[in-house]
Structure 1
């Protein structure tokens, strides 16, 4: 199958590599001028978790330096409609690459939950320097979870039925005296979990700031109080 990946960030790089390993013809579509910036090779350094719970480290050159983890499953979804034949073919390509498929019938809602949880984590990460600083830090992870919990009413205000996303919101509804130490232990001692945070070490990265700005603007538009996100605003507000 010929596959065109839009952009060459972390996600496109991970799945472009794994799909090419499965025998597909993969190309990347990037903005004008970005191709020269990226170069024609990737230095991969990741944990492949498709067949081992603890992951298998992969360090190789693949035709932009990358560190991260390849999880054993990939999320697909629809907007309460069955997938088309073309969408089924894409799912099969990922299965043939050794990945399990997780289906989300309310994919828009799943993305909203994911976006809000990112905003909670990013807000605390920006307060302490970067997301990488949260690894093994019980107190900071507790604040990140509480920031995410404060965003649940925002999701409801946008019309999201949280009952359809119990798994996604569970970490924020569970008491933090339980979840924060567990996350701290995992991100300190389990390599794939640790890398998922430590790979985000750039204190000047723009994506965390954009996520926090967009989320705070939407909360203010809908009149939803988000005190922790507001407290972090000096770290992501445009100067």
Structure 2
């Protein structure tokens, strides 16, 4: 398959590498002038979680192909779009006149209704997914990793089309497992509030490393997440009973379990630490999650006293 990664960010680079190693042709679209800035290779120090849960260390200088223009008559089979949620509108507007007949995998989080966010794009060409990786660039080296699982699903009004199945098979053939969600909109919104709870508490205590090392701090993240469940309901999310039950378990117990799960040798923790060390967990990016959640809560009249009390750290 001929694949275009939109941008040369962390997720695009990690999954582009994995897909190329699986026998696909991978290229990157970058803004004019960026190809010379980036250079034609990427230094990788990433943990590949497809074989072992702790990840296999990959250290490689990977040559890549970049292009700075994208005309409608291109011949890509798949475009993969993975950007910060606040950058999505700009990216979607750019692609709307350049997507041609290509399948587009939207591979990132959103806090607005996905169908509304993607309204500029041809509905029958869009496939929804979410990565299980991260990290950041340390100078010219990408440090981070990805887990075996990626997430896919359908949103209201979409079905598992031939395009969906083709993307699913692409990742399976590259060694990934797929966790499929029947209501991907609700899943994305739940993931967003989980991020918001972690982000707000990380800003409060001085960073993700301190947060992950303390069951007490993680407990307060879970209290924040639990508080946000009525907001998800007000937005129209349909949460699975098991999720609601889990988040209503004693927060101290959840914090203890999470702290053990995020032990120093765990792949998720190593990915988050690389994210923080690279500056990709900057105040500007981290504060977006709780700030957007609180803004929606006020708009919908849903009280979030715990998050409101922390507003000074992300305002």
**TM-score, normalized by length of structure 2?**
0.68
Distance 2:230 2:34 in 1: 39
Counting only pairs closer than 5 Å after superposition, residues 78-157 of structure 1 correspond to structure 2 as 78-79=154-155, 81-157=158-234
Q: Determine which of 230, 235, 238 is the counterpart of 2:313.
A: 235
Q: Distance in 1 between matches of 2:221 and 2:8?
A: 28
Q: Which runs of 5+ in 1 are unaligned?
A: none
Most deviating of 189-198 and 95-104: 189-198
- Report matched runs for 1:139-218 at 5 Å: 139-163=216-240, 166-167=242-243, 171-201=246-276, 202=279, 204-218=282-296
- Aligned CA distance change for structure 1 residues 225 and 195 (closer, same or farther; 3 Å): same
What are the superposed Cα offsets for residues 62-113 of structure 1, whole Å, 9 maximum, x if unpaired?
2353222311111111125432212211111101100011111211111111
Identify if the C-alpha distance between structure 1 residues 112 and 135 changes in structure 2 by more than 3 Å, giving closer, same or farther. Answer: same
For 1:152 and 1:193, locate their aligned partners in 2 and report how far apart those are by CA, in whole Å.
Answer: 24
For the 8 Å contact 1:77–1:106, the answer to whether it is kept is: yes
Give, in angstroms, the shift of residue 186 of structure 1.
Answer: 2.5
2:142 aligned partner: 66
Structure with greater strand share of residues = 2
Structure 2 unmatched ranges of 5 or more: 64-139
Q: CA deviation at 1:33?
A: 4.6
Root-mean-square deviation (CA, aligned residues, Å) is: 2.1
The 1-side partners of 2:207 and 2:41 are apart by 27
* Structure with the bigger percentage of helix: 1
Moved more, 55-64 or 30-39: 30-39
CA drift at 1:139: 1.4
Q: Is the alpha carbon distance of 1:36 and 1:139 closer, same or farther for their aligned partners in structure 2, counting shifts above 3 Å?
A: farther
Answer with 199-208 or 138-147: which moved more: 199-208
Distance in 2 between residues matched to 1:74 and 1:39, nearest whole Å? 29
CA 1:190 to 1:32, structure 2 compared with 1: closer, same or farther past 3 Å? same
Matched residues, number: 235
Cα separation, partners in 2 of 1:236 and 1:19, compared to 1, 3 Å:
same
Whole-Å separation in 1 of the counterparts to 2:311 and 2:160: 40
- Per-residue CA deviations over 1:19-63 (Å, capped at 9, x if unaligned) read 011011112223445445544332322222212123222222223
C-alpha separation between the residues in 2 aligned to 1:149 and 1:236? 19
